[in-house]
Chain A
Amino acid sequence: MRNLFLDLLYSQMKQDDKIYFLTADMGINLVEKFEKTFPERFLNVGIAEQNLIGVAAGLAESGMKPFTYTISNFLTQRCFEQIRNDVVLHNLPITMVGTSTGFDNAPLGPTHHMLDDWGSIASLPKIRIGCPFDSDSVKRIFTAVIDTPKPSYVRIPKGNGYVLEQNILGEKKKDEAIVSYGSAIPYALEYSKSRKLPIFLAEWLGIDIFGFLNSINLKDYKKITVIEDHFANTGMYSYVCQWKNVTNSQLEIKSIAPYNYQDKIGIDIFDFMEKIL
């Protein structure tokens, strides 16, 4: 999904000379073609995420449409104040492209667990957060960030995405359903299959989760299980709770989510699910 997103961006840069690609020294064997083809619209700022966002803001104020690229948690947390003040406050058309989500890089250790990235970003107003789950989803998110430039964060899980079996999606008459996104999806699919429950995948997070919940007619269900790759207190679970409160629903909500960084290799969302099962 990451490669597809970058391919789409590469093609788009040929048509739109306002797009500017910035990396914080990430993307070996991926970003070189950007530098070669668009040397004037490519910049490696080095290992300096605060500067990555600040420089992108200056370019955007000059009419460019910057895309900033690095690992999701470095992209969102080292430079949080730059995102708040320089991007969101100024409502600049910057798309932050983060690679990996959840426990995608689990063996690399807790500094590389991305369990609190989009929840941090979603605390800011008017920023759009995309999280694709298959190639069509990547294309839809890419089209959205190109068509309506505004502050955006796209977190791209590892892999090519997931194929949903129609019979799972079709069983909508049940009282219970599953919602999921990101790198929690394989676990959610397993949970869904074992219980023969319908599953719905979100590709826009943050405040757009409310639109997603309405689109799946959440009010028709009695129980929802949220399986996510992010801490629940700032993740989708908290949005479902807000939805329940606002709609005065009697919905029963179950959360399967990481609740801490792992202290040893091998713990992932599946382990949290096992405990609950």
Chain B
Amino acid sequence: MHSDSRLIEAPLQIRSDILNILYKSNASHLGSSMSTVEMLYAMYSTSNIDKIKNKSMDRDRIIVSKGHAAAATYSVMKEFGLISKSTLETYHQRGSLLQGHVSHFVNYVEHSTGALGHGVSVAVGHAIYLKMIKSKSRVLVLCGDGEVQEGSVWEALMLAVTKKLNNLIILIDNNKISSIGNTEEVINTGSLGDRFIGFGAFVKEVNGHSISEIEDWIKNSGSLAQPTVLICNTVKGKGVAFAENDAIWHYKSINSDLFNEAVNGLK
């Protein structure tokens, strides 16, 4: 157990918020939202939030390439004071800016995503800019392990390695389930870390539900000469027993019985 209570209480609060907004709006993507909670938390906790709020040109950038983790992204942003509680509660409802995929129309969101395989290229553009202005800030990208089936991810990585973008950190949500099945059966991405190593990145496999472990390896990136890829081993649906490791919770929405069961299960 971590002595730092934020590492225990914050994920619980975020998961509770996710369940609430998904239930109220009858929305989907429970599985990915739950698997990415700690990753997203670590991305924001290692970033300079004041610079993000001030929209400073040398701010850290957070790009959620797997845009369907929107409920988690917005819930984590609330935790860091970037979205209000009342705004979060409008998630996925008519008239809300908080749609089912991450949107740049929401303040402090860098880039709209939803079609997979876009975020790393955009992140590379930001990372090149930060190098150009000699900033020490980082660009953090959240990608799915299914998403890396998109070839554009590897186009971007090859350039990032060539340009020695050590300010780029790609976090892979390695929950081993893509859209409708296990990645092992769809496109076998076994030895995922070796593949990234083969492309020239610095790769570290971490517990994707350990905020402190992810934070440590994000902070380590500055000492390297190449981009970092963190293979974050996660459980799709983490924290919601009936949803864990079941692909159907990419799509399914929760009814009142399951909502109560899930909320009670978090305690």
- Give chain A's interface residues, CB within 8 Å of chain B: 40-41, 43, 45-46, 48, 50-51, 53-64, 81-82, 85-86, 89-90
Contact = CB atoms under 8 A, between A and B. Distances in A.
Contacts of B159: 45-46, 48, 51, 55
Q: Which of A48, A57, A62, A82 has the most CB of B within 10 A?
A: A62
Nearest to A64: B129
A55 B128 contact: yes
Q: Which of A45, A55, A56, A86 has the most CB of B within 10 A?
A: A55
Contacts of A53: 121
B104 A90 contact: yes
B129 A51 contact: no
B121 A57 contact: yes
B128 A59 contact: yes
Contacts of A89: 112
B122 interface: yes
B1 interface: no
B125 A57 contact: yes
Contact of A61 (B111, B114, B120): B111
B114 to A, nearest CB: 7
Contacts of A58: 111, 121-129
A51 B126 contact: no
B32 to A, nearest CB: 19
Contacts of B113: 85
Given A45-B159, A51-B159, A55-B156, A82 B121 contact: yes
Contact of A62 (B115, B118, B125): B125
B118 A82 contact: yes
Given A61-B110, A61-B111, A54 B121 contact: yes
B155 interface: yes
A53 B155 CA distance: 12
A86 B155 CA distance: 16
B219 to A, nearest CB: 23
17 contacts: A45-B155, A54-B120, A54-B122, A54-B125, A54-B156, A55-B122, A55-B128, A56-B125, A57-B121, A58-B126, A58-B128, A60-B125, A61-B110, A61-B125, A62-B125, A85-B114, A86-B111
Interface string B240-256: 00000000000000000
A7 to B, nearest CB: 24
B158 interface: yes
The interface residues of chain A, by DSSP majority, are classed as: helix
Interface string B125-142: 111111010000000000
B212 to A, nearest CB: 29
B186 to A, nearest CB: 21
A62 B57 contact: yes
Interface residues of B, number: 28
Nearest to B129: A62
Q: Which of A54, A63, A82 has the most CB of B within 10 A?
A: A54
Nearest to B123: A58
A62 to B, nearest CB: 4
B112 A54 contact: no
B152 interface: yes
B36 to A, nearest CB: 21
Nearest to B133: A62
A24 B104 CA distance: 27
Contacts of A57: 111, 121-122, 125
Nearest to B131: A40
Contact of B121 (A43, A51, A63, A64): A51
A51 B112 contact: no
A61 B158 contact: no
A54 B115 contact: no
A46 B126 contact: no
Contacts of B125: 54-62
A82 B152 CA distance: 10
A63 B118 CA distance: 19
A41 B152 CA distance: 22
B98 to A, nearest CB: 17
A60 to B, nearest CB: 8
A46 B158 contact: yes
A249 B130 CA distance: 55
Nearest to A57: B122
A25 to B, nearest CB: 11
A61 B130 CA distance: 12
A43 B155 CA distance: 14
